[in-house]
Amino acid sequence: MSQRAASSDSVRALILLGLLWLLLAAAVIMTQLARVPDIEISWVTKTEYQTAGFNLYRGTSPDGEFAQINDRLIPSQGNPATGASYTYHDRAIETGRTYYYRLEEVEYDNRRRLYDLPSLHAPLLPVWAPPMAVVGVLAGVYLLALARRHQGAQGATPSSSNQAFETWTQ
C-alpha cells in the first residue's frame, strides 16, 4: 500500500471517529432529555413499633396542598428492635421543579404521624450528562481538526528518509 493511500485511510478513519464522538454527544443529551424523570425519595427508621406502613405526600410548596403519591400503603419492613431503609421513585414529576414531601407513618390501630422530608429538585438532566456530552464534542472536534490537518499534509513530501520520524514540508 502506498504512503498516500495509507494516509488517506488515516484521514477517513479520523473523520469517522470524530463524527462518531459528535454523534455520541448528541445521543447522550437526546436520550436524557427524552427519559421519564423521577425523584428518588429515601428514608430510614430506627425502630418500627406497631408500624403498619407509610404513605408519601408531594406538594409544590412547603405550605401548600399535598397529595398522596403512593397507590397503597408502603408496608413496614422493620420491627420494634430495628428499623429499615426505604426507597420510593416518584415518576409523576416535571423536570426543573422543586418538590416537597411528607411521610406519614400509619400504625396498626390507624394512628398516624406526619414527618416533613427535605425538598427535592428534579433536574433537567442528570449531573453526569452535560460533562459527558462536552467530552464527546471536544473529542469529535479534535479528531475532525486532526483529520483536516493531516489531510492538508497529504500533498507534502517527506524531508527525511527516516521513516519512523518523518517531517513533512510543503
Cβ(99)–Cβ(120) below 8 Å = yes
- Name residues whose C-beta falls within 8 Å of residue 5's C-beta, 6 or more positions apart in sequence: none
Which among 121, 142, 165 is the end of a domain? 121
Are 117 and 66 members of one domain? yes
Residue 43 pLDDT: 96
Residue with cell 421519564: 36
Are 117 and 136 members of one domain? no
The 10 Å CB-count burial string (b at 16+, else e) for 125-136 is: beeebeebbeeb
Cβ(121)–Cβ(98) below 8 Å = yes
161 residue type, one letter: S
Residue 170 pLDDT: 42
Are 151 and 98 members of one domain? no
Q: Is residue 100 part of a domain?
A: yes
Write the CATH number for 93.
2.60.40.10
Structural domain count of the chain: 2
Q: Provide the grid cell at 76.
A: 413496614
43-96 pLDDT per residue, tens: 999 999 999 999 999 999 999 999 999 999 999 999 999 999 999 999 888 888
**Nearest one of 69, 73, 71 to 90, comparing CA atoms:** 69
Q: Is residue 167 part of a domain?
A: no
Are 44 and 26 members of one domain? no
Q: What share of the chain is helix, strand, coil (3-state, %, to 5)?
A: 35, 30, 35
6-37 pLDDT per residue, tens: 678 888 888 888 888 888 888 888 777 666 67
Are 51 and 112 members of one domain? yes
Domain extent at residue 116: 38-121
Task: Tally Cβ neighbours within 10 Å of residue 76.
Answer: 21
Are 43 and 112 members of one domain? yes
